Structure 1
Amino acid sequence: MSKKTRHEEHEEHADESWLLPYSDLMTLLVALFLVMYAMSATDAKKFEEMSQAFSSALNGGTGILDQRSATPTKSQLDQGKNDKMDSVVAKNTGESELVKLRKQEQEDLGKLKKQFDQYIDKNGLSDLLSTKLNQSQLMITISDNALFASGQAEVKDDSRQLAKSISTMLQQFPDYEVLVQGHTDNIPISNSSYSSNWDLSVDRALHFMKILLLNPNLNPVKFSPIGYGEYHPIAPNTTAAGRAKNRRVEVSILRKYQEATNTTTVAPSGK
Structure 2
Amino acid sequence: MSKKRRHEDHEEHIDESWLVPYADVLTLLLALFIVLYSMNQVDVKKFQELSRAFSVAFSSSGQGVLDMPAIVERGPDVEFQSGGMEDAENDGQTNEEPLTQEEVNQLLEQSESELSKLKQQIDDYIAENGLTTSLDTSLNMSQLLITIRDNALFNSAEASVNQDGRELAVSIAEMLENYPDFNIVIAGHTDNTPIRNAEFRSNWDLSAMRAVRFLDIMLTNNDLDPKRFSTVGYGEYHPVASNDSSEGRAQNRRVEISIVHNYFDTHKQQSIGITEQ
Query: TM-score normalised by the shorter chain: which range applies?
Result: 0.5 to 0.7
Equivalence for 1:139: 145
TM-score scaled by length of structure 1: 0.60
SS at match of 1:177: strand
Equivalence for 1:211: 217
CA distance in 2, matches of 1:172, 1:149: 31
The CA RMSD over aligned residues, in Å, is 2.1
**Is residue 104 of structure 1 aligned with residue 110 of structure 2?**
yes
Once structures 1 and 2 are overlaid, which stretch shifts more, 188-197 or 235-244?
A: 188-197
CA distance in 2, matches of 1:138, 1:255: 10
Conservation of the 8 A alpha-carbon contact between 2:152 and 2:164: no
CA distance in 1, matches of 2:194, 2:263: 40
CA distance in 2, matches of 1:229, 1:99: 35
Equivalence for 1:124: 130
Structure 1: tracts of 5 or more residues without a match = 1-90, 266-271
CA distance in 1, matches of 2:217, 2:180: 16
TM-score scaled by length of structure 2: 0.59
Conservation of the 8 A alpha-carbon contact between 1:98 and 1:257: no
Equivalence for 1:166: 172
Partner deviation per Cα, 1:224-246 (whole Å, 9 max, x = no partner): 11000000000000000000000
CA distance in 1, matches of 2:203, 2:104: 41
- What is the one-letter code of the residue matched to 2:237? Y
CA distance in 2, matches of 1:217, 1:231: 34
Partner deviation per Cα, 1:9-49 (whole Å, 9 max, x = no partner): xxxxxxxxxxxxxxxxxxxxxxxxxxxxxxxxxxxxxxxxx
SS at match of 1:173: coil
Partner deviation per Cα, 1:141-190 (whole Å, 9 max, x = no partner): 00000000100001012321111001111111123111000000000013
Conservation of the 8 A alpha-carbon contact between 2:166 and 2:217: yes
Conservation of the 8 A alpha-carbon contact between 2:191 and 2:243: yes
- What is the one-letter code of the residue matched to 2:204? W
- What is the one-letter code of the residue matched to 1:216? N
Q: Offset of 1:136 from its aligned partner?
A: 4.2
CA distance in 1, matches of 2:259, 2:246: 29
**Is residue 182 of structure 1 aligned with residue 220 of structure 2?**
no
- What is the one-letter code of the residue matched to 1:182? G
The structure richer in helix per residue is 1
Conservation of the 8 A alpha-carbon contact between 2:157 and 2:206: yes
Identity %: 50
CA distance in 1, matches of 2:171, 2:151: 17
CA distance in 2, matches of 1:264, 1:148: 33
